[in-house]
A and B are shown apart, each in its own frame.
Chain A
Amino acid sequence: MHWCLTPVTPEFEESFAEDLEDYVAECADHLSAAREILLDQETSSNPTQISKDQLDGLFRNFHTIKGLSGMVGARVVEEISHRLESYLGIVRKDSSLLTMVGVDVLINGLGVVESAIAAFRDGRPEPNVAALVQRITALSSSLPTGRNTAESPRVADVPMARKAKFTAALGRGDRLCIVTFSPAPDVAARGVDVNVVRSRLQAVGEILHAEPKSVAGGLQFLFVLAVNPAADFTGWPADNIRVEPYSPAAELAEVSDPGQTALPLTSVNLVRVDLARLDDIMRSLGEMVLTRARLENSLGRAAQFLPPGERRDLEETVQGLDRQLRDLREGVMRVRLVPIRDLFSRMRLVVRDLTRETGKDIDLVVSGEETEIDKFVVERLADPLLHLVRNAVSHGLESAADRVAAGKPPRGRLALRAAAVGGTIVLEVEDDGRGVQFEAVFARARSAGLIAVDATTDPMAVLDLICAPGFSTRDEVDRGSGRGVGLDVARRAIEQGLAGSLTLDSRQGAGTRFTARLPLTLIVADVLTVSVGGQTYAVPQTVVREVIPVEAGSTIVLENNELIRHHGGVLPLLRLDDLFHHPRPVGSYVALVVGDGTSAMALAVDRAVGMREVVVRPLTDLLVQAPGIGGATELGDGRPVLILDPAGLARYNRRRVAGSPVRAGGLS
């Protein structure tokens, strides 16, 4: 019995999971594009004046989200985006119809769509959309063509979920038509009901889609039918069964809007790449770098036997290879970089909401949006940045009255800046608020015994203090001294999660600036976490071929080795409990199969815990350069977790057991 690391799931589930990921990613792109347009719009001097391009862009964003949602069955998302799209459809015909309320509803809608997508992805209950729907309805019905557009039967509502069937029918050269059947008393009296219609249609062609629709005056059934193009099918008008030709090609395409001018394309040259694939490339590159080093070594040894001309040629070739590898590495790194713009847009939204919550007027100044940063880093930066922004608005910036009293302009100013400085990304969140009350912080720290009476009072120490456990619990003091909860979380995420640093500058009465410095790229690895003697360790997933359960007493002792049976052969078993001086587990345990061919072995651990993507940090200090320990990481709780290096463990074990027999297996 063994199981592989790749979860074995039914094919459809796997493909659904993949589709779902694609769906979420694609929607995220459209959401962020829409968010950008709307926020620009809201903060512009004339929010209701919108350019045709921007309207087209918004329309397309919601249209695409609607289509994608239909395909994966995210009904609520589909519904809301449809309503927003309909509203935009009207405004597109006459952009003067856009109102402030409209912009607000669109922004509101954007947030709801986003959370509905997240809920759909996570399988959580759908968010309540009733209020939003009501707002959109009220908005649309106030427009001249509102009702009409929103309710006319739309082809786009029909086919997305049946894309494959449609494509197949079109591929066969079938003619598609929409058949509508409107039940009526007289028709029913003749025995024609929806089942009769269905069988009639089935006799004529293939029903690709059917749905009941409620229309003014009652219910209507709508069918999409594929018929032979040669057939002369006109329906049965006498029985209220009517036929319209239908061309779904446009609807099936990504972006469609027949009858409108071509919309500007945004993504024609973009390729979506899974980060894991880039990691694979990076790994291969790492191996190439090692190979190059070996080549150089061999060359060094062989150099004395080579004629000088030959040697120079070879040396130049190796140098060229070195340069090319470095270029290649940089190229791959660049692929991982994305502009920080999207993250900043999110913060604009946050500030917008906070403005309403707190009643403080805030000018948000954003710069360096084009700064590029590793995708992995960006994803993990959202949370800490949110905490910093919240902290600045809630605790840094004063109320308008306090500001005026302090001789400041009534509107608070919050700056978000990003810049690349060397190999580092510098992010700043700066407010012009009251600043940190250093003395209050220190006085409290002294009274709590956290610092010595004459301790230095530099800003770094303040940051330590306000993030110190036991300090952050006294909320009223914290608020008074200009900080809020969440700072410790932000700092931990930046320092431990992203191997960066967070610093604080503050002038009392003049404002506070938090500066986060982050590495441009990180060494990121997928690891398997395991438990050995109550400790958690991480093992790079790339080296683990299999995880197998081992029954107590099932091992074979052969001279100085303990072996386990595996796939008809045997593997040497290395017990981490022994290597690390922990007691052996009671009962069955788990072994990780690592290495290839003759270097293959099984590492016995107490149990496998899970898989994680982690940031790898080297362990450089001599004091902790222990055998078989390759580095350290963190799993989100601030506790360092050691990363094992199985090859190093094997070497250590060989030295260790040389001469001394191992304990017999299964005694524990």
Chain B
Amino acid sequence: MTTTAAESYILFELAGTAYAIASRDVQRMEMVEHVTPVPNAPAFVEGVVFSRGKVVPAINLRRRFGFQATAFDLRTRLIVVAHADRSVGLIVDSAREFVSIPADAIQPPPETLAGTSGRYLKGVATADDRVILVLDIGGVIDAPET
């Protein structure tokens, strides 16, 4: 159907919006268990978790994007991403779908897009009548300058 290569993405939801991360960046998805807060870490860092025996930081993506943080529930997921030799967990409202998005279906993010997640976007995709924000993992897990 498409002329360009399609890549597999994991879809997740955050504050009612659909986001996508490239499957190749995702190491695994887990239920959120035992997050230990790290005092004086950046506010969007929920803490550290054990994932496959490694201690990895867990980012609360709601806080990262400036949304109201909510309590975790059964749908809450930890998506562990690997990027530039780092492993970082992203806490999202829910995640359970894989989609294939052709490269030409992803548009660069409009500069006028409101909301703080704009800084972490690689593009906007339209698939199955849905608008999906495609994340730039490097930007999301970058440590803020102190």
B48 cross-chain contacts in A, Cβ below 8 A? 619, 624, 632, 640, 642
By size class, the interface of chain A is 35 or more
Smallest beta-carbon distance A620→chain B, Å: 8
B86 within 8 A of A: yes
Q: Which of B26-53 contact A (CB under 8 A)?
A: 28-31, 33-34, 36-42, 45, 47-50, 52-53
B55 cross-chain contacts in A, Cβ below 8 A? 617, 619, 632, 640
Smallest beta-carbon distance A516→chain B, Å: 11
Produce 1/0 per residue, B98-132, CB < 8 A to A. Answer: 10000000000000000000000000000000000
A494 touches B41 (CB 8 A): no
B38 touches A621 (CB 8 A): no
Q: Which of B43-95 contact A (CB under 8 A)?
A: 45, 47-50, 52-57, 59, 86-88
Known contacts A579-B40, A621-B57; A455 and B98 CB within 8 A of each other: yes
Instruction: Using CB atoms, name the residue of chain A closest to B42.
Output: A623
B98 touches A496 (CB 8 A): no
A111 within 8 A of B: no
Smallest beta-carbon distance A478→chain B, Å: 18
A494 cross-chain contacts in B, Cβ below 8 A? 53
A433–B139 alpha-carbon span in the complex (Å)? 47
Instruction: Using CB atoms, name the residue of chain B closest to A617.
Output: B55
A624 touches B37 (CB 8 A): no
Instruction: Using CB atoms, name the residue of chain A closest to B51.
Output: A495
A637–B36 alpha-carbon span in the complex (Å)? 12
- Inter-chain residue pair count (beta carbon < 8 A): 93
B143 touches A639 (CB 8 A): no
Q: Which of A468, A495, A535, A579 contacts B52 (CB 8 A)?
A: A495
A642–B47 alpha-carbon span in the complex (Å)? 10
Known contacts A621-B88, A629-B38; A449 and B96 CB within 8 A of each other: yes
Smallest beta-carbon distance A657→chain B, Å: 14
Smallest beta-carbon distance B72→chain A, Å: 14
B47 cross-chain contacts in A, Cβ below 8 A? 624, 640
Q: Is the interface of B mostly helix, strand, loop or mixed?
A: strand
A469 cross-chain contacts in B, Cβ below 8 A? 31, 33
A623 touches B40 (CB 8 A): no
Instruction: Using CB atoms, name the residue of chain A closest to B23.
Output: A456
B39 touches A623 (CB 8 A): no
Q: Which of A622-636 contact B (CB under 8 A)?
A: 622-624, 626-629, 632, 634
Smallest beta-carbon distance B97→chain A, Å: 5
Instruction: Using CB atoms, name the residue of chain B closest to A469.
Output: B31
B98 touches A452 (CB 8 A): yes
Q: Which of A499, A535, A652 contacts B36 (CB 8 A)?
A: A535
Smallest beta-carbon distance B106→chain A, Å: 20
A638 within 8 A of B: yes
B40 touches A580 (CB 8 A): yes
A454 within 8 A of B: yes
Smallest beta-carbon distance A493→chain B, Å: 10
B52 touches A629 (CB 8 A): no
B135 within 8 A of A: no
A623–B87 alpha-carbon span in the complex (Å)? 11
A449–B59 alpha-carbon span in the complex (Å)? 23
B141 within 8 A of A: yes
Which residues of chain B have a CB within 8 Å of any CB of chain A? 10, 28-31, 33-34, 36-42, 45, 47-50, 52-57, 59, 86-88, 96-98, 141, 143
Name 25 A/B residue pairs within 8 A (Cβ), A-sorted. A452-B97, A452-B98, A454-B98, A460-B28, A461-B28, A464-B30, A494-B53, A496-B50, A499-B53, A500-B53, A535-B36, A579-B40, A617-B54, A619-B48, A623-B42, A623-B88, A626-B39, A626-B40, A627-B40, A629-B38, A634-B50, A638-B34, A640-B50, A640-B55, A642-B48
Closest 4 CB pairs of A and B: A495-B53, A580-B39, A622-B143, A639-B34
Q: Can you name 14 extra interface pairs (CB under 8 A) apart from A621-B88, A624-B57, A626-B40?
A: A470-B31, A495-B50, A495-B52, A501-B53, A579-B40, A621-B57, A621-B86, A621-B87, A623-B41, A626-B41, A632-B36, A632-B55, A638-B33, A639-B50
